[in-house]
Structure 1
């Protein structure tokens, strides 16, 4: 087996300043060509001073994501810390406890608890309500004319939906968003660090979740938190930490990723007004357009795994315990799979993007995210004629989330046909 350590010396994927202007696709194009399975040496920004593998080609990312025996989402069986972030998280906090940081067979049992709540029949039951909410949200933004599209439109429907699904009072939904922003954004810190703001947000979210879960245990409803509070796996209830981690995960996954796909998609369309007019003329293109937006924005650009034993990726040796990062965003621009991958094409077909991951950890909420995106864009197509970005786009400083903080826009109402 070959060991691939060759690399351009100027690449540092742990320097978050590389990501403040958007995901560095040009860096990954270079890696796919020169070192598709690359050992990233530690730098002054790297958590724990430990290097890690960077997997950038579609075929390699797909293969590693499917092999949960060789590449663990927990990782603590072979090292002192693990999880799906680049920085190690301690055992019992998230690895082995948080749904997306567990391995089979517990992962499948854990996941099964919540599948019914996001199954097609359950989503069909809330589709009308989501469409009504989207129409109201977009209508209010169009009436104002000027808005922060990320805050006023892209974030609002996922936030209302996740509050409803979790059984959180709607009046508290913006508190959820504030906590998610503070814990997921690295505006005031680097990888592996906590700031005063992020620590306070994490503590407030934990206290709120604990109180809410206690109420759900005493008086359960039909929401996801009630499921977490009362469900059992192999006859045993979820631990208090597992229940708390469900709350934290669903706040982040249920609101943050979808809002960034919607905002990133709207930004791509603002740069291509002809495409917007094409969608307005032919609504049958909306489904393919949503898939292209997901590929284009890749809201979660990577997930980490831990090698459970000595293995290889495309002939490159990987040792037990080493960190392996799977870069979905890079795979989604791989020219071996996507024709003209750096073009935004709402007619792209096929479009087997990896924005929701692949394998056993395929995003549980993918159907909900697609539905939310569809009703928001349908409402926008119904009500918005012309639109434009009116100020600087402020992005999230993170290599884990391709996020937007603020997107100032002008929305002009669609003229009634005569």
Structure 2
């Protein structure tokens, strides 16, 4: 525990202690924070990387305010700072910050984003929708044949993996290798924030080597996939560097598979936790679009993003100094009682549903249309073919405060009568 505010004031958990997130995102903790300290300074603890504290934003209103001003809240770094990025721990500028799409600022961010946007617009996705629908049904049919399966591996991960592999030009037979590497680098199993293990370093190295080979092949024989597109693209007349494209490959592979499969898994858990909800959705397909939005809100697969204050200013009655780290906790904002009535209840009829699962503003998730499509198709395939889903063992959550994930979810799926 750590102290915040005046002596004798409220105490809050250490948000850099990953043990707090062992059983998923601690929503009850953040409900208390929203009520007592919607914005507060989190001092460094023994678990905090860099030994530097940070601001914690917990409410929907303040999250929107920070997201709306990328000039004031940098995704790369504050002026003069050698480290920055979107994690609590600093990454060296030029290694991630300023290079990765999600850790860059305008104008570079917008220019880079424009290269990728045409491939993920709804118009482009309509050309692959029938194929993805067929894949979804095959995935569910294969899981039903097993009877008992790991929902994460056998269902939730499969369509996002197949789709992102197709999108970025990875052979389908390689997708599970990439899945394993991404999991090892994103899960803090056996390590703390700011630390690496032999397993995570080896996975990162193998993914990087794979990306180098893939990029070389795309330069020699380009296609219509995203890696081919960026390999041939220029910004301000200059081609992207090898390192930029490599980092983009890592980002797309991880974000394109990990976040969506966690949204599917955690969203399903939300549905199953509400008695009668599965049957209600099966009987009324018109509820599916609303259910997908509620799954996104309920899951909040990216719990927080960090920003760096570019100048001294005021936020929520507090003075934020230039260079301060500001963390925006989307998962908390998506359960804000001031915006969402009965926020812990899964309600597919919730309207409006202004969740921030994809962020907001200039850094709104580029893959949002694809994620929504994948979630819709998987949910529809499950509702069409599965009478009920029963957990056969405990859910094993990823150990992370940056990614709300599930490692394993053993289930029994019972087929509907024809």
The TM-score with structure 2 as length reference comes to 0.97
Corresponding residue for residue 38 of structure 2: 36
Q: CA deviation at 1:409?
A: 0.4
Q: Does the alignment pair 1:290 with 2:292?
A: yes
Corresponding residue for residue 199 of structure 1: 201
Query: Which of 145, 167, 170 is matched with 2:169 structurally?
Result: 167
Unaligned runs of 5+ in 1: none
Q: CA deviation at 1:76?
A: 5.2
Q: Does the alignment pair 1:374 with 2:373?
A: no
Q: CA deviation at 1:143?
A: 1.3
Q: CA deviation at 1:269?
A: 2.0
Does the Cα contact within 8 Å between 2:49 and 2:89 map onto a contact in 1?
yes
How do residues 234-313 of structure 1 correspond to structure 2 at under 5 angstroms? 234-313=236-315
Corresponding residue for residue 225 of structure 2: 223
Corresponding residue for residue 364 of structure 1: 366
Does the Cα contact within 8 Å between 2:78 and 2:310 map onto a contact in 1?
no
In structure 2, how many angstroms separate the alpha carbons of the residues matched to 1:378 and 1:343? Answer: 21
Does the Cα contact within 8 Å between 2:38 and 2:59 map onto a contact in 1?
yes
In structure 2, how many angstroms separate the alpha carbons of the residues matched to 1:154 and 1:292? Answer: 17
In structure 1, how many angstroms separate the alpha carbons of the residues matched to 2:217 and 2:5? Answer: 53
Query: Which of 107, 110, 117 is matched with 1:108 structurally?
Result: 110
DSSP-derived class of the 2:84 partner: coil
Query: Which of 3, 18, 21 is matched with 2:20 structurally?
Result: 18
DSSP-derived class of the 2:387 partner: strand
In structure 2, how many angstroms separate the alpha carbons of the residues matched to 1:10 and 1:373? Answer: 35
Does the Cα contact within 8 Å between 1:76 and 1:91 map onto a contact in 2?
no
In structure 2, how many angstroms separate the alpha carbons of the residues matched to 1:26 and 1:273? Answer: 21
Deviation sequence 1:364-405 (CA, Å, 0-9, x none): 000000000011011101110011111010000000001000
Deviation sequence 1:74-96 (CA, Å, 0-9, x none): 01533220000111101111100
Deviation sequence 1:76-131 (CA, Å, 0-9, x none): 53322000011110111110000000001111110000000001111000000000
Q: Does the alignment pair 1:386 with 2:388?
A: yes
Does the Cα contact within 8 Å between 1:396 and 1:403 map onto a contact in 2?
yes
**How many residues are paired up?**
413
In structure 2, how many angstroms separate the alpha carbons of the residues matched to 1:339 and 1:394? Answer: 29
Corresponding residue for residue 341 of structure 1: 343
In structure 1, how many angstroms separate the alpha carbons of the residues matched to 2:250 and 2:147? Answer: 34
Corresponding residue for residue 408 of structure 1: 410
DSSP-derived class of the 2:347 partner: coil
The TM-score with structure 1 as length reference comes to 0.97
Corresponding residue for residue 27 of structure 1: 29
Q: CA deviation at 1:10?
A: 4.3
Corresponding residue for residue 90 of structure 1: 92
Query: Which of 122, 126, 134 is matched with 1:132 structurally?
Result: 134
Corresponding residue for residue 181 of structure 1: 183
